[in-house]
Amino acid sequence: MIEIIDLTKRYGTFTALDSLNLKIEKGTVFGFVGQNGAGKSTTFSILATLLSPTSGTAYVNGFNIAKDPKLVRKQIGYMPDFFGVYDHLRADEYLDFYGASYGIQSEERKKLIPQLLELVNLSHKKDSYVDVLSRGMKQRLCLARSLIHDPEVLILDEPASGLDPRARVEMREILKELKTMGKTILISSHILPELAEMCDEIGVIDGGKLVAHGTVADIHKQLQAEKLIIVKVHQDRDKAMQFFEDQEKVLHVESLEDENSFQFVYKGEDLSQVNLLKQAITHNIPIVSFKELETNLEDVFMEITKGVELT
């Protein structure tokens, strides 16, 4: 559905996007994660044919962004991070204006607009002027606008930016509904847990480079070379700590505030971790609990991007 090949964008000596390669299959919800200035909006602007790459290319539903921009635009619904609304139009007039711009006939628009307003939970605001809508409502209206021509691909740049918690939940539920409709969705954010809940795959971009790509579980796995293990014993903590210190792949054994607990870093795979626990039991270590400390997504992001230099 979307194929990006060696996509690069330079502004003089500054490289905003550095040889990006990515393939996204039809029906996938793909989350683009990165701090401000990482290259997310640049990528989306190029895919939306609003910005020309310095080199490389991309295809949307088989159409080349450089050679077939008009055909690409028919495939996509684009919602930028900063959107424009016409304050002196009612919500239904706003959508009618964009529907007419796409060449949708009047009778068809009359049927389509109520359906779109219902999809984004704005049916009760169809007669309200845009300037009186809350930010969350304006965001949802702009999402409806991007769907007016029934595109196969949605490109949503920070769609939940600036929204309160309730509005974020509403936006997330709408995106889930769009996923069930078979839309291919590209969505960017710097809030990782938000993307984890709705995306099939995520890509981490930093300094214009894609530094990680896969499912949330895959990206977690990239950091599993080192695991933090918390152990609680019934008694003889010092003896237990000494046992683990003597084991291969165990590093940094440290006591915790609880007099029967300690932690260590383990550099091994899941199966060898199982064997380690078996050995401890065989050596009569009175283990009450043995658990791996979960890594949250913010830690994942910081770990993946550390050492990546901005160009």
224 pLDDT higher than 80: no
14-28, 40-54, 290-304: least confident range: 290-304
The pLDDT, as a whole number, for residue 95 is 95
55 pLDDT higher than 90: yes
Main-chain phi, psi angles of 292, to 5 degrees: -90, 135
Report CA dihedral (15, 19, 23, 28) to the nearest 10 degrees: -20
1-5, 223-227, 290-294: least confident range: 223-227
The pLDDT, as a whole number, for residue 197 is 72
More reliable by pLDDT, 303 or 131? 131
Only one residue has tokens 């910005």, namely 51
Only one residue has tokens 């559905």, namely 1
| Mean pLDDT value of segment 214-235 | 78
The pLDDT, as a whole number, for residue 221 is 66
85 pLDDT higher than 80: no
What CATH topology corresponds to 224-294?
Alpha-Beta Plaits (3.30.70)
The pLDDT, as a whole number, for residue 296 is 55
Angle between helices 135-146 and 165-180 (to 10 degrees): 20
| Mean pLDDT value of segment 203-216 | 86
Q: Residue 63: pLDDT band by 50, 70, 90 thresholds? A: very high
The mean of the pLDDT values for the chain is: 87
The pLDDT, as a whole number, for residue 1 is 86
Domain 2-213: which CATH class?
alpha beta
pLDDT digit string (tens) for 7-21?
999 999 999 999 999
pLDDT digit string (tens) for 242-257?
999 999 899 889 999 8
> Other CB atoms closer than 10 Å to residue 128's CB: what's the count?
15
* Domains 2-213 and 224-294 fall in the same CATH topology: no
pLDDT digit string (tens) for 112-167?
999 999 999 999 999 999 989 988 898 899 999 999 999 999 999 888 777 777 87
The pLDDT, as a whole number, for residue 309 is 42
The pLDDT, as a whole number, for residue 93 is 95
Per-domain residue ranges of the chain: 2-213, 224-294
The pLDDT, as a whole number, for residue 298 is 58
What b-and-e string marks burial along 154-178, b requiring 16 or more CB atoms within 10 Å of the CB? bbbbbbbeebeeebbebbbebbeeb
Only one residue has tokens 């077939």, namely 68
SS3 state at 274: helix
Q: Which helix (H) or strand (E) holds 16?
A: strand 14-24
